[in-house]
Each structure stands twice: as C-alpha cells, then as structure tokens.
Chain A
Amino acid sequence: MKKLMLGNAAIAQGAYEAGVRLVSSYPGTPSTEITENIVKYDEIFVEWAPNEKVAAEVAIGASIAGGRAMSCCKHVGLNVMADPVFTVSYIGSNGGLVFCVADDPGMHSSQNEQDSRHYAKAAKILMLEPSDSSECKEFTKIAYELSEKYDTPAFIRLSTRVSHSQSLVEIGTRANDEIKDYKKDIPKHVMMPAMAVKRHVLVEERTQKLIEYAENCPLNTIEDNGSKIGVITAGISYMYAKEALGDSVNYLKLGMVYPLPEKLIKDFAAKCDKVFVIEELDPFIEEHCNNIGVKVCGKKNFTLLGEYTPEMIAKVVLNKDGAERYELQSDIPARPPVLCPGCPHRATFYVLKKLGLTVSGDIGCYTLGAAAPLQSVDTTICMGASVSAAHGMAKIRGEEFNKKLVSVIGDSTFMHSGITGLVDIVYNKGANTVIILDNSITGMTGHQDNPTTGKTIRGEATKQTNLISLCKAVGVERVVVCDPFDVKAFEAVVKEETAADEPSVIIAQRPCALLKSVKYEGKCKIDQDKCKKCKKCMSIGCPAISVHDGTVSIDPSQCNGCGLCISICPFDAIVKE
C-alpha cells in the first residue's frame, strides 16, 4: 500500500519498521514531526526530553542496553547534542543508534543556516541523506543495519524540503524488535583516556571500512545518460537537478554523504568533460572532490546561501532561462510572521517597551517581540542565552543598567537551558530579572508538551515541574507569578523586580492563544463615537487592528477576543460585541 507521507512521518515509519524501541527528542523545526509521528506506534517508547543533549544520551543508553534507538533534532539542536555524540562515536552501538538532524536552508524557522554534514566528518559518524519520503523510510532502515554492522552511530540528514514535503511511501511491516544482550564491557563503554585511546584506533579503521562500503553501496548510484556533463549531488538537490536537467546529464547521486567514496567519484568524473557539484549550503562534497584531485564546478557557480531551485540549476548547467512569467511592477508589502491575535507575549512586550527596558531575548514565538511595531527585544542568540547573556551584560554595564534589563524566555526554553544560566546568576552574585513566559506549552514548534505542562508526549498525566520551587531551589528568593494581561499589575511587578538588588524571576503566566482550551467570550469592537484616533491600540501590533481612511477598526475574522486592546485604550473606546 502506498501512502502520501511527510518526509518526517516516513522517517518515523522507517524507525517503526526497523524495530526501533525508543525515541527521545526535543522539538525543533523542521524535525519535530518525526517524533510526533512515533506516537502512532504503541511498540515504541517515545518522549520529549528537556533538551537535545539529554535526548541523545537517553538514546545512547537505550542502544548500549541493546535496543534500537533514535534521537531527532534540528541543525542547531545538534550543537546542543554534540557533546555525547562525539564520544558515542568511540563507543559505537549495541542496538542500532540513529540521530536524525534536519537542516533549514533558507532559514524558514531558524536563527542560522549551518550545514550539519560538517558534524559527520568531525565526529567520524556516517551520514545518509534521503531525497524524498520513500528514501526517508528506506534510508532509516539501512541506517540501523549499518549502525549495527559497523558498530557506529549513524546520522540521517534532512532538510526543510525533504522533512516537510509529502510524497509516496510503500508501507511495510515491523521487523524483529527483540533487544540484544547487555554485557558489561568497560573498554567499550567507559570513555576514559586509556580506553578512548584504543577506541579511537577502531574509529579510524571503521571509517576506512565505510569508505570501502561507499565505493560500492546501493545508496550511491550512477545514472549514465551518455552525456559529457556530469552532476554529483545529494538530498533535495538531486530532485531539483533531475527536474531542471532531466536525462540531459549523467548523475552521481550520493545517498551517503559521509564518508564519501574516492574511486566512484573519480571513475564517474573521468567519463565527463565537465562535472558540477550541486549541493545546498557549504561546499562539502566539492571540497572532497578537490581533495581527491577531481576538478568540479561548485560554489563558484552556485550560491552558499539559501535554498536552490530547479531554475537556478538549469541556468548554471544548461544556460537555460526559466519560464515566461509576470514580473511584479513594484515592491509589494512583505508579510512577515507576527505574534498571533490574543498572544500573551504581546502584553509582556507592550509593558517592557513602555518601561524602556533592554530585553535579552531567546528562541521561541516571542522572538517576534523584536518585530515592528513592538521592537522590544534587543538580542537573540540561541536556546537559553537570554538568561546567561543578560548576566554578562549586567557584569559589564553595571548596576544601573541592570535595573533596566530583563531576560525573556519561554517555559520550554527555560527547561531546555535557561535554568543553568539562572544558577550562574545566583552563584556569581548577579541581580538580574528573568521573565519566564509561561504559556503552558512549547508554542513555536506547534504545541508540544514539556516538563512544565504535566503531560507526556502521549498526553498521559505526569509529574509537573513546578517553576516556582525550581527557581527557589537554585537560590532565587524573589519569585513572582503574574498575568501579563493584567497590564497594570504586571507593569508594577516588573518595576519592582528590576529595582531589586538581588536575582528575581517573574513568571508571566497565560496560556497560548492557540490552545484549544483557551476561549475568550465575544470579539472586540471599536466604538467609533468614543474613539479619539490616538492609535494607542495600534502600538501593540495586533494583526486584527488596522486603520483605513483614518478610521480604526478590528477585523472580527482575526480577533480572538483576548481584550488586551480594551485594557490599554485610554478612552474606553473598545468594547466586546
């Protein structure tokens, strides 16, 4: 039976068919739906871990214990995961161990455009790269076979267009999922210098064996169309090249992008007058070709930036222009993402902006607090950095600056890596104010539960991390819970806490407006007789409020009735319908 499946759902299906017993991940676009789809399979233990490092370690433990295991993350999640990943390369696998990492060329939903393939090379771990959903499933199963055969973890590299495209997948059945024996094996499992020195030798031997495998493996395929032009490519770029160039060139499609073959590439190139390497982001395959003395056209012809398109490839390789099209006459307004109508973060940023505070920001929907008209957020670096970077800022700029400085971080992000920054502030005598934007869910990635929600990924009730006790336990004595929609009270709390000479935490508590449980009565409406057109309501950047011909109005199809505009209107000109 063939089914239309997201690449991510196909990875989950592949894991199921491969007999995987455990999946532990932290959400991150575009990787999230892999783990969400694992929930469909009762045979697999699945969880959201507090961060990627924990998730990878859980999977490593499961592998050592003899079960096939998986951990999935986005490209920047692999940075968090990197510590255990580099060392498990030495330990290898017992039950097959696979890390799925999804890159985001074009940065649809990311803070950078890093290329994960460098990690495969740096950690000496094989990496497969599928091109569509069918390959997602098949490559996942192959990854487990390779992981066990070569005693290694394996990477599967995805990109947004593979993860978030649906294509046809043949559904199969689950393989034997019996776990392997666990044996105490100190030289293999305890990575202290004397053992690691010996394991490193084995890692280098393993890479040589995998290079031999790469020369003949079914994942690396040649399509000889009798052309004098050759294209070496992998992943989604193969699909773009096929669409653009059809059968007019020869292809070497690399399903395994680390380690790369030498002889296979040399033999392929020898039959061509000209060879193009087509790969998004960094010249990873190109540099390998250069190293083995194969002359190729790569990044001199193609960009290092963003996503590729078939049109771009046809232009470079065949000098062929794209289809005739309408050209937009002038610049039309962009439509950047915005905080949703009813978003609790809007109230928080309204107050922080009003108080003129410097805002050390973090990763989540609330990064959008940097967008006009709120433009409240000053910095965004990575998960957790709002807390620790603010500590650094305060130490440089002093006490007065610190009284006008706050960190903002979501509940899930705080559990991910904000708590360690808070420990640092307390331990090293900081006096920062940290605002935890507790919206009862992991929002940006599409509503995943986390340790503060009291539910597991399967929706089962579980122990809930108490943020107040947690902050108090690390030594913060001032912890205040406040609803940001109670604008006046929230403003007073922020003033008081930033003025304090000790660390403080404000838990700004109001659930995400998109949660099904959140229902506001009625829609907001402007009473035109009372409206003085001061446009204060426009300053909160609610997408439902706009002004046409001088008249301010609220679009009922967008308004969710949260009433924030009602609380800030100085003339009581906004009412509920």
Chain B
Amino acid sequence: MNTNIMIVGVGGQGTLLASRILGNCVLGEGYDVKVSEVHGMSQRGGSVVTYLKYGEKVYSPIIGKGEADVILAFEQLEALRALPYLKKGGKIIVNTQKIDPMPVITGAASYPEGILDTLEENADLTAVDAMDLASRAGNIKAVNVVLIGILAKTSEIPYEKWVETIRSTVPEKFLDVNLKAFDLGYSI
C-alpha cells in the first residue's frame, strides 16, 4: 500500500518547499515516490494542492477523494476544502491561520464558521498556530517547516534523517531558522 500525503494551502505560503523536503526524505528511505505540484497562474494567491505518494510502486501522481492518509493544511479553509480527500480515519495537521479568499474580501461569500469542529469530527486532528511557532523560530515564513516537523513526529522516519534532508534542501542562509522551526513542530 502506498502512503498518500496532500499538502494544501494558499499560493505563496511555501507548500512547494514542504513537498520537496518530504519527497527527498522518503526517497532516501528507498521508496518509489511521486510528487505532483502546481505552478503558474494558480500559484498567485489561489488554492494550491501538492500530492505526494510513496510506497513500493506508485503509478498516478494524483490522490483521489477518500485516499489521503495525511493532509498537511497551511490554512483552515483549505483544510476543509481538502477534507473530502481524506481516507476514513486519516490525519489532518492544520495551521489555524485564516486567510480570507477574494470572494470573502469582496463580500460575495463569507468565511465558513466552525471549521476546526468539522475537521475534529471527521479526522484525527492536530491544530496548531504554526505562524506563532514560526515567528518564535525567527521567521513567519517558516510555517511550512513547522508543519513538516509535526508530520515528522508521526512518521516512522527517524529524526536525524529529517534534519539531514532539511540541511540538503533548504538554502544555507535560512538553515538555522528552518531547523529551529522543525524542532518546534517536532516537539509538539
């Protein structure tokens, strides 16, 4: 059986780096891996979805509804949007940040209430103010690595392997902040 992880968020939140770290990390464990990314127009502040699948043999790079083992959500509404993709009993790790989409800003729609309750009822939920942790690590942009840290804690891959992957994936000058952010997530 493959492990299916979805990373969802808002364009510009750094979901691509999260998928690169994850991809490189599981690759080092000898799995077949596929990662499907979003580039181009949809990246500009829109909903972004990255699929990451690993196991003995992976064919389709995309994850179907009801098939994700884990959803790593960078924003509440995006977590809710992705909920139909979660496997029964699957895990959601969500950053509690809310970002109003344009239809909410213009008043054409309202931001749904009680998202965390809905997630709690339908998933094994970990909700975290990852932005607060990222700012404690030294940069609010490190939300992605905080969330990777939380995910890492639940995985079978050893701590050292994650750290080694971050070292080889993240640019040198952001390394300290990102290692701190990873540890803050990992120790939740």
Contact = CB atoms under 8 A, between A and B. Distances in A.
Contacts of A444: 40-41, 44
Q: Which of A32, A309, A323, A555 counts the most B-chain CB atoms under 10 A from its CB?
A: A323
Q: Which of A166, A243, A323, A336 counts the most B-chain CB atoms under 10 A from its CB?
A: A166
A335 B34 contact: no
B47 A324 contact: no
B161 interface: no
B131 to A, nearest CB: 7
Interface in B35-61: 35-47, 58-61
A525 B80 CA distance: 30
Question: Size class of A's contact patch?
Answer: 35 or more
A573 to B, nearest CB: 18
A29 B60 contact: no
A336 B101 contact: yes
B103 A108 contact: no
Interface string B158-187: 000000000000000000000000000000
B104 A546 contact: yes
Interface string A536-551: 0010010101110000
Contact of A323 (B47, B64, B101, B122): B64
Given A165-B36, A323-B87, A333 B131 contact: no
B88 interface: yes
Nearest to A163: B39
A311 B122 CA distance: 22
Given A165-B36, A166-B34, A557-B140, A541 B44 contact: no
Interface in A323-350: 323-329, 332-340
B41 A243 contact: no
A323 B64 CA distance: 8
B35 A328 contact: no
A557 B62 CA distance: 30
A239 B46 contact: no
B124 interface: no
A286 interface: no
A339 B46 contact: no
A165 B37 contact: yes
A172 interface: no
Given A166-B23, A167-B34, A239 B40 contact: no
Contacts of A30: 39-40
B114 to A, nearest CB: 11
Sorted nearest first, the 5 A-B pairs with minimum C-beta distance are A323-B66, A109-B40, A29-B40, A325-B66, A337-B46
26 contacts: A4-B24, A30-B39, A32-B39, A132-B34, A164-B39, A165-B36, A166-B34, A167-B58, A168-B32, A242-B59, A243-B59, A243-B60, A311-B64, A311-B65, A322-B65, A333-B77, A333-B104, A334-B47, A335-B45, A335-B101, A337-B45, A340-B45, A446-B39, A543-B45, A545-B105, A557-B140
Interface of A: 2, 4, 6, 29-30, 32-33, 108-109, 132, 161, 164-168, 236, 239-240, 242-244, 309-311, 322-329, 332-340, 365, 367-368, 371-373, 444-446, 538, 541, 543, 545-547, 555, 557-558
